[in-house]
Structure 1
Amino acid sequence: METSVSYPGWTKILILAALATVLGSSTPVGYNIGVINTPGYIIKQFCNESVHSRYNIVLDESQLDILWSSVVSIFLIGGSIGSLSGSILADKTGRKGGLTISSILGLIAGVLFWVSKTANSIEMLLIGRVFGGLSAGLITAIMPMYMMELAPPHLKGATGALCPLGVTLGILFGQILSMYNILGNEGGWPHCLAISAIFQFIYVVISFILPESPKYLFVIKEKPALALKELKRIRNVNEELLTGEIELLKFEEQENIRQGEHWSISRVVRSPELFLPLLLVCTLQAGQQLSGVNAVFYYSSVIFKSAGLSVKSSELATIGAGCCNMFMAIMSVQTMIWFKRRTILQISLVTSIIFLVILGISISYMDKYQFMPYLCIVSVLGYVLCYGLGLGPIPYFIGSELFEVGARSSAMAIGSMANWSGNFVVGLTFPTMAAYIGAPSFYIFASIVIAILIFIRTYLPETKGKEACEIYSLVANGLKSKPLMPSRNIKEINTITNEKDTI
């Protein structure tokens, strides 16, 4: 089915929802990821002093490293748990309600960060990281689904890219504000960690005037009158101009009724028809992290120093790499409108592989050739740009295009958990890989991206301009599916369904 360009575009309420969720939901996710690294040694010292003064325990270096690793990684564990909880909240309290609850959890985290130093409490710091992780997991599971269900068909890709845009913006904010001369110092770090709560407070205030997802109201809650009211408010047009969307909502409602019992995570996992789309979502979500993007940023400071930059200049250059990532995140909103998903994702994967291999080679020979440090810089920036082209934004929202409304929240929750789990695995293993393997670590990341590319080329159907019910028949046979065959349009599917019901 080709998407009609006659649909309303960016109405005022849709723009407000986009701004509120980007700044108030996904930006805090990225901020909590990016803010912890630069002032880490200062916060680590606070942890050491807190344990000593309160428990009279002197930690050796290895024990302190384990404690600090716990502070960092517990956020990722919270993210995984929050992701799984996202499916329950998204169906029980609504898409908007789930995001509001996530913001309240983020507010609690911010308060705990703010008072942790004054209270001399490492426990508050740890609990704050848990609450921050829970909030982040809920947001990454719910926000892409919420925005794509609000958007007209031709803007689904653009609204789906808003979540990674906010995450990227938050990481950049975190890198800048956590610089030592700003807030990443002995006196400023509690305030630095707590700033994300301000954004989430703003979202809570604005959420009262934001719309609920019409698809959620119509299909899940079975409230067609309220769904139609919200749809008219979002599109800002008369009901007569919404005939196509209303027909589609009715069709999705029929499909949800036909599929029987309420969808849950366990049912989604057990369903043979959903095996392939779920595998695609988890592969892309986990693969996004296993591609080594965080490792590249980890190495960037070392690379810039090796190129002859001072400590301060290399810090600024790392932020410059973050700006490149931010630029691509902004561009991806429009890119998702211009290009097909399969095309832009494969370009992103192929070019990322090339730059990862070049990066591994240039780091290996950095001390042997004078031009190698500069090749490293080009590789870092090239990888960041290529990653942001497709591998960065698409995994966040592809689940909303592959799954119908009933199973969507559970599938998005599982995919989000795969993303956080991949992040956790890289965070846990990369320091050891860097110490014992070094530059060849990037060949491992390149190999993972090659595997993702092969899988995607074989099994990912084109989702741009199509509804999930059109894609369903292409991926319902598991690994025996032929997803690159032309899909049936809504009318054909509706006819077939009616014939089956008649028989």
Structure 2
Amino acid sequence: MGVSFPTGLYELLILGRFLIGINTGIGLCVQPLYIGESAPKHLRGAMAMGSSIFLTGGILTGQVVGLRELLGGASHWPLLLSTCCVPAFLQLLALPWFPESPRFLFLDQGNERKCLRALQRFHGRQHYQPEMEDIQREGFALGSRKAKKPWELFLDRSVRWQLLTIICMTMGQQLSGINAIYFYASYVFREAGIPEGKIPYVTLGTGACECFTALTCGLLIESMGRRALILGGYSLMTLWCVVLTFSLTYQVYWWAPYLSMACVFAFILSFGLGPGGVTNILTIELFTQSVRPAAYTIAGSVSWMSFFTIGMLFPFIVRGLKQYCFLVFLVECSLVALFIFFVVPETKNKTFLEIKREFHRRNFGRIKEQDGELGERRQLSHEF
């Protein structure tokens, strides 16, 4: 992308954006998956939140570097677009030294020796044994099951409610209104009387808010749990949709633009505290090894399709509903909150097998649940 300007080949700019899009699509799926499979259960949520923390930190960094005084000027845009090679180069230097996921090595490849070496590198030679025992128990429970394809999950009754959960949560995350808030932010700041030249600096506050709440979520997730954070986030977002609709309706009053500006920041804070980070963690935790990669493929596809859909439809929603456009997101946030309240259990500090048992009754009913518990007792007795 950097050489597209001096060479005069705009095709290089398109090619660069295409390659970065591929890397982004892979990275947003593989990185949380790798961290979730490698982390111990009591730190899984906090470590998986690293994806959201550094993602929001990268967005904030991009906003700062993109300021007109730095690299945002008309003459510096090739250099600005070239800066993405810096993290890519650092990853090329560092990632080859990372071990493969221990669960993948043991459960998918059947290589116990490499799994042990990977666990010792992650946890140390004195503390890897509990993780190894957890992986072995999951291996005994899965038996000889091979990794499933994404389309096979739609026919698998044992993951029916887990699959429905990640589809609803992933769609809810993208359709919650967070992208609409960013779209409306410049208008709200302008109505609040902020000079046009100062709006880019105020917009930095939105990125800083999301980065701050991602960090806060990472600190709280192992103490408060996933369920409380994501329910609280969607509930607060529903409230701010109501307040923002009210303030946009009464813009003629002097206080309304300031209330709208406060709602923008409050909405972003609520999103980052719950749905922004917890959604990815639950996608990791609701599935065992044989179906997790396929589930992540489905979740990633649903996420990008939802992002594309809201990007295409939101201008028409604004044109048709005007200041009442956030009522659409109010309904969506409240419905997702209700679904999570009635369906999603707490997964904090639980193994993948324990979480699978939580969904067993919902997937099969009471009789199947009793049969499953009996089978697990027999398996554990045999293992002992």
TM-score band (shorter)?
A: over 0.9
**Contact residue 209 and residue 269 of structure 2 kept, 8 A:** yes
Matched, 1:160 2:48: yes
**Contact residue 475 and residue 481 of structure 1 kept, 8 A:** no
> In the alignment, what sits opposite 2:30?
142
Q: Give the whole-Å Cα distance in 2 for the aligned partners of 1:334 and 1:167.
A: 16
Q: Give the whole-Å Cα distance in 2 for the aligned partners of 1:385 and 1:197.
A: 30
Q: Alpha carbons of 1:343 and 1:480: their partners in 2 closer, same or farther (altered >3 Å)?
A: farther
One-letter amino acid of the counterpart of residue 136, structure 2: K
Query: Shift of residue 308 of structure 1?
Result: 0.7
One-letter amino acid of the counterpart of residue 297, structure 1: Y
Query: Shift of residue 479 of structure 1?
Result: 6.5
Q: Alpha carbons of 1:481 and 1:119: their partners in 2 closer, same or farther (altered >3 Å)?
A: farther
Query: Shift of residue 267 of structure 1?
Result: 1.7
Matched, 1:298 2:167: no
Unaligned runs of 5+ in 2: none
> In the alignment, what sits opposite 1:286?
171
SS of residue matched to 1:180: coil
**Contact residue 141 and residue 376 of structure 2 kept, 8 A:** no
Residue correspondence of structure 1 range 255-404 to structure 2 within 5 A: 255-258=141-144, 260-366=145-251, 368-404=252-288
Spell out, residue by residue over 1:455-474, the C-alpha distance to the aligned partner (whole angstroms, 9 max, x if none).
Answer: 11111011111112112233
SS of residue matched to 2:147: coil
Matched, 1:245 2:131: yes
SS of residue matched to 1:275: helix
Matched pairs, number? 380
SS of residue matched to 1:393: helix
| Large movers: runs of 4+ above 6 Å | 479-482, 490-493
Query: Shift of residue 432 of structure 1?
Result: 2.2
> In the alignment, what sits opposite 1:42?
none
Deviates more, 1:117-126 or 1:322-331: 117-126
> In the alignment, what sits opposite 1:231?
119
The one of 19, 22, 26 equivalent to 1:131 is: 19
Q: Give the whole-Å Cα distance in 2 for the aligned partners of 1:153 and 1:474.
A: 16
Spell out, residue by residue over 1:155-208, the C-alpha distance to the aligned partner (whole angstroms, 9 max, x if none).
Answer: 100111111112211211222222223222222112212212210110110112
Q: Give the whole-Å Cα distance in 1 for the aligned partners of 2:24 and 2:161.
A: 26
**Contact residue 157 and residue 363 of structure 2 kept, 8 A:** no
Query: Shift of residue 415 of structure 1?
Result: 0.7
Residue correspondence of structure 1 range 180-259 to structure 2 within 5 A: 180-238=68-126, 241-258=127-144
Residue correspondence of structure 1 range 419-430 to structure 2 within 5 A: 419-430=303-314
Query: Shift of residue 261 of structure 1?
Result: 4.0
SS of residue matched to 1:312: helix
Query: Shift of residue 408 of structure 1?
Result: 0.7
Spell out, residue by residue over 1:331-367, the C-alpha distance to the aligned partner (whole angstroms, 9 max, x if none).
Answer: 121111211111111111111110112112211221x
> In the alignment, what sits opposite 2:345?
461
Residue correspondence of structure 1 range 7-86 to structure 2 within 5 A: none
**Contact residue 168 and residue 329 of structure 1 kept, 8 A:** yes
Q: Alpha carbons of 1:273 and 1:494: their partners in 2 closer, same or farther (altered >3 Å)?
A: closer
* % identity of equivalent residues: 26
One-letter amino acid of the counterpart of residue 179, structure 2: N
TM-score, length-scaled by structure 1: 0.72
SS of residue matched to 1:276: helix
Spell out, residue by residue over 1:303-342, the C-alpha distance to the aligned partner (whole angstroms, 9 max, x if none).
Answer: 1111111112222111112111111111121111211111
One-letter amino acid of the counterpart of residue 245, structure 2: G
Unaligned runs of 5+ in 1: 1-112
Matched, 1:176 2:176: no
SS of residue matched to 1:337: helix
One-letter amino acid of the counterpart of residue 66, structure 2: S
> In the alignment, what sits opposite 2:291?
407
Higher relative contact order (CA 8 A, sep 6+): 2
Q: Indicate the RMSD between aligned Cα atoms, in angstroms.
A: 2.3
Spell out, residue by residue over 1:275-323, the C-alpha distance to the aligned partner (whole angstroms, 9 max, x if none).
Answer: 2111111211121110011110111111111111111222211111211
SS of residue matched to 2:86: helix
Spell out, residue by residue over 1:249-295, the C-alpha distance to the aligned partner (whole angstroms, 9 max, x if none).
Answer: 1111223325x343111222221111211111121112111001111
Q: Alpha carbons of 1:492 and 1:329: their partners in 2 closer, same or farther (altered >3 Å)?
A: farther
**Contact residue 251 and residue 494 of structure 1 kept, 8 A:** no
> In the alignment, what sits opposite 1:449?
333
One-letter amino acid of the counterpart of residue 378, structure 1: A
> In the alignment, what sits opposite 1:495?
377
